Chains A and B, each alone.
Chain A
Amino acid sequence: MSEIGVGHYLTLSAVLFTIGVIGVLTRKNAIIVFMAIEIMLNAANLAFVTFAMSIGDLGGLVMVLFVIAVAAAEAAVGLAIIVAMYRHRETVNVEAFTAMRG
């Protein structure tokens, strides 16, 4: 118990990931959904770092760097889309956007 092993970090990563998923599935506010996605990405980052340090591979750490960069890009574009959505429909309720229906 006093020894924190790989497993602990991985379990924490899994739990955080799940919380993020539940957030994506449950919430109808587009911005909250985005934030939940960020949680998921971070959980993945945690897993990457854990593995990188435990098996001795720098690739994991570099990967985290890229994930953060891509997450930034994705957040920018995604939020721009949300702004456009809001301009179009006066709402950010994901259920209001059913144009992909059928």
Chain B
Amino acid sequence: MTGVAIAFWVLAVVAVLCSLLVVTSRNPVASVLYLVVTFFCLAGLFVTLHSHFLAAIQVIVYAGAIMVLFLFVVMLLNLGTPQWFDVATTPLTAVALVLGVGFVAALAAAGLGDFEPSVVGPAAGVPPDVLGSTEAIATALYSAYYLPFLVTALLLLVAMVGAVVLARRER
């Protein structure tokens, strides 16, 4: 087995396990930490796909900023201990499980495991190392996707303002 394969399998299993733990943990802090691990696994998976830049971004922004924010709010609202309302399971749980399994089963039955994309993108022949490199992404970002880039910046501004307004104390 190649190194990539081993890396993939290890990372995949850990990611799935940890995301399951995120979803099933009673303690919110534990959930947050598991989620961080999941993000790291995903970053590793990005690396196996040769998109190193995105792996880096994933770790910095997602695992670094967003999860810190989550942890911050958890601590702020004093949710560090298991909450009473999360203990019981409802019939809804069974429905959700059935739907979820059905979703994956449907996709697997449709041949997701052996999927080979038939379309060819514009940069088809480019070697993956170059494709996933920072220069490539930057070039695309500041030329072809310049407008979405600006809009996203605006979006972040709006989100910031919104967050401040929403979380402000009532006078």
Q: For chain A, what secondary structure do more than half of its interface residues adopt (helix, strand, loop), or is it mixed?
A: helix
Measured CA separation A28–B88 after assembly (Å)? 10
A61 contacts B137, C-beta separation under 8 Å: yes
The contact of B22 among A25, A35, A64, A92, by CB within 8 Å, is A35
For B108, what are the chain A residues with a Cβ–Cβ distance below 8 Å?
Answer: 11, 14
A-B contact count (CB 8 A): 261
Q: Are B96 and A38 in contact (CB under 8 A)?
A: no
Q: Bound state CA distance, A93 and B96, in angstroms?
A: 18
> B136–A28 contact, CB under 8 A?
no
Interface size class of B (residues with CB under 8 A): 35 or more
List chain B residues, Cβ under 8 A from A8.
8, 12, 113
Of the four ranges (under 10, 10 to 19, 20 to 34, 35 or more), the interface on chain A belongs to 35 or more
Q: Are B122 and A72 in contact (CB under 8 A)?
A: no
Residues of B within 8 A of A75 (CB): 66, 69-70
Which 7 residue pairs are nearest across A and B when measured between Cβ atoms? A57-B121, A73-B159, A23-B23, A25-B96, A56-B124, A80-B166, A80-B163
